[in-house]
Chain A
Amino acid sequence: QKEVEQNSGPLSVPEGAIASLNCTYSDRVSQSFFWYRQYSGKSPELIMSIYSNGDKEDGRFTAQLNKASQYVSLLIRDSQPSDSATYLCAVNKAGRRALTFGSGTRLQVQP
């Protein structure tokens, strides 16, 4: 079992719709959770971080964390073609500063 799992996609949504990206992790001691966006040929860019159960909203982005289910998600409202990218879920374990990444979900927003 991979430590961090994501559906590789592509996830295709029409412009203006809500895109829902999901991630599960295997290690219960994981403490911090991050979503990065990576455009083709570019380095990862931090979108959201979340540390506590529940929802965290930032503009069009909402991160959701459920530690009991070991599940973290990212919702993108009013999706735009510029949101088309690969979204990487990353997890930070207790006592360890380095991140473990999922394989990423490719999102395509259709105009």
Chain B
Amino acid sequence: SAVISQKPSRDICQRGTSLTIQCQVDSQVTMMFWYRQQPGQSLTLIATANQGSEATYESGFVIDKFPISRPNLTFSTLTVSNMSPEDSSIYLCSVDKRMASTDTQYFGPGTRLTVL
């Protein structure tokens, strides 16, 4: 498996501000993913982050709102910009690890964001 940490674990923010979430992995990984889980909902992919290239965003998510950095093979950040109450969610990073010839995704503990 993979050991993944996220900071902060939770935060309460004011409308209009921005929050940067950090994701650290204990080993080098090619692909990292950012998901959002809104209250009572399932996981929705925001973007895929590869080291050395621009992140690939899913439909409905844009770089201006969710800028992502991937400076090396063990770290990524997701910024939630100009926040509104609708951005209140759990944000999860995940990594793709090859285990026994198959690719499997493992998730970090998540960042619980509340926007007032």
A binds B: yes
A interface, size bucket: 20 to 34
With A43-B107, A43-B110, A98-B33 in contact, is A51–B102 under 8 Å at CB? yes
B116 contacts A by Cβ under 8 Å: no
Residues of B within 8 A of A25 (CB): none
Rounded to whole Å, the gap between the CB of B51 and the closest CB of chain A is: 14
Assembled-state Cα–Cα distance A43/B35 (Å): 11
Closest to B109 in A: A43
Which stretch in A14-22, A63-71, A99-107 binds the other chain?
A99-107
Residues of B within 8 A of A44 (CB): 43, 92, 107
CA A42 to CA B112, docked complex, whole Å: 10
* B residues 65-112 touching A (CB-CB < 8 Å): 90, 92, 96, 102-110
Interface pair A97/B48, CB less than 8 Å apart: yes
Closest 8 CB pairs of A and B: A43-B107, A101-B43, A103-B42, A43-B110, A101-B42, A98-B45, A44-B107, A97-B96
